[in-house]
Structure 1
């Protein structure tokens, strides 16, 4: 269709109209004819009216993030589209290290990174104070560049087969998560509140600790000039994951017990936290992941039946949600059998999950697990598991594209145009 035909259709002159001033009906007409998600992403990036013309969920399905294979991958990230059975790579901005979205460097500096645009927001650096919460004794080397891990009371330093007796050892980049931060959760996008992270609070899950680390409250902003504050959750076991919901952070320990923080808002001062006994996992539930959707807290897990005589087991996937988090009555879980247009995306290995409605190329009322819930370790191939929320029945799909099989654990991500709150190291 030629430009004079558009002019006839909409009866508006084009030579005096700016990109942001094009008629909405024209933008919608073009948006419906975009050939790919890449075209839709470019279209949305032009300006606000163009972005509004392209509903995000209809064009941008979640992707699987593929971990780095080695030093040669340090300057790019590989993503895999399940719906299209294709992988593609994006360059990381200069200076980016191992990691995705939340980066921690050997020097201890921490940053949030948008790999699609190169935008970057600094977080407070790691410190002895943070490591001490995980019962780790660390120090900076004499040159101030590398962190050193000191032996424990038994004189052992390091991890696994690399553990040795003797002097302190330098902490490598791929060991920083074991000493400092497991993952980072945000209260809002890093660019909220007019830039500089002033509308955003970051909470970090620490290694083997009942405490979490928090940046200053809303209004102070993010940055290297601020410092992490330790927040005691008063849980009995170490914190496994954190979810932001209803202006509060919910810390979940490895047994599924939940602790809720006070409101995270300007003027509320340093937050506090307290356990919520009524949110203990439902009976017989093997919890796998927690997430937020539309102000409600969800837990995804499985009910397992073990047949010892036959040396086998069966399981069904189940979803619960809590809709009364802030009511006067104690919060309580209720079983979800019909999630409508909702699709849940659960990352098995990285404690990062989210949801979306009417997501392109994905089944509704379903849970998409990045790996099978109960993997056969004799078969290392990567596969999706899709669970029907209504019936609990699961289907393990055929192996992914051969390119994906070279990678280790996979995890779901949302393209940055889908403005999510959660990031992971």
Structure 2
């Protein structure tokens, strides 16, 4: 049977490979056999876009790199189709560097592991759940002062395939647009400097400000209010799509939010002279979740997420069902606080449980971190994994 699949006409294999809309699927396709590998080129879905000249807050410019990643459910493929054992699956973020080399990243912090080991691509299936982009310095991790970035489609009149645009929340709440070749950000709203998050839902771009006002962005870059303001009392808000509905996660903090200049100073002075770690911002103490009732045009307070899990990552927020994974517990929110960047691997992050309103570090409750790869931080498997096509 395998030889029959390997002997499929080259023209048919090329047609199949062109219809694969996921880079990880294309790599699995190439891994089947030599003839399949020759019929499909290496995907470039996560290639680094060349360095950009960005005009950052306070008129500082610097070379930055825009990285694209894919959030996936990584499933272990059963060798024996008659086996009654349940398939194992984990939540990972896949980032690709050059030469077809993949990196498995933390969906929360984008961190890679210390060591690396090879992975047989035929043993795993990758199901794409979400996409994300983030900016980093050429020699450093994050571009401080830019909180959130999403790619924005170019107008139909643009004929240059190398051009692209992006929306960003920068300088602690400004909403801006940048197109390749621009020298400055284009400010989209000169009356509101309190935006918190951007999300793409069914190819539509939505933004939310600190008061809970959700707006959508017209292709002409006009910001149009979408629904009534939430007026939540939390200090930071995230948008999440779950089962086709729009949610707001309102985060309450134990202090004032820090400015981007503070975090940049932290990056340059990672430790005090005494060797103790700096306190890098207020911590979350409580969350409230609201769902938009689009028929009535109002917000509904959500007491339970049932089997759903909300993941509030550095560059994207999304929802998953814990039933689709080997580990993890539903009705909770995964998120990052400032001190999470001191922890490597699948134990970096916190979890808020809606049932008892408790917050715990993933490092102290292993049953919650099992949803991430690797499920056991103390195992011999590397927290970071390199995958070759």
TM-score, normalised to structure 2's length? 0.46
Relative contact order (alpha carbons < 8 A, sep ≥ 6): 1 or 2 greater?
Answer: 2
Query: Greater strand percent: which structure?
Result: 2
TM-score, normalised to structure 1's length? 0.43
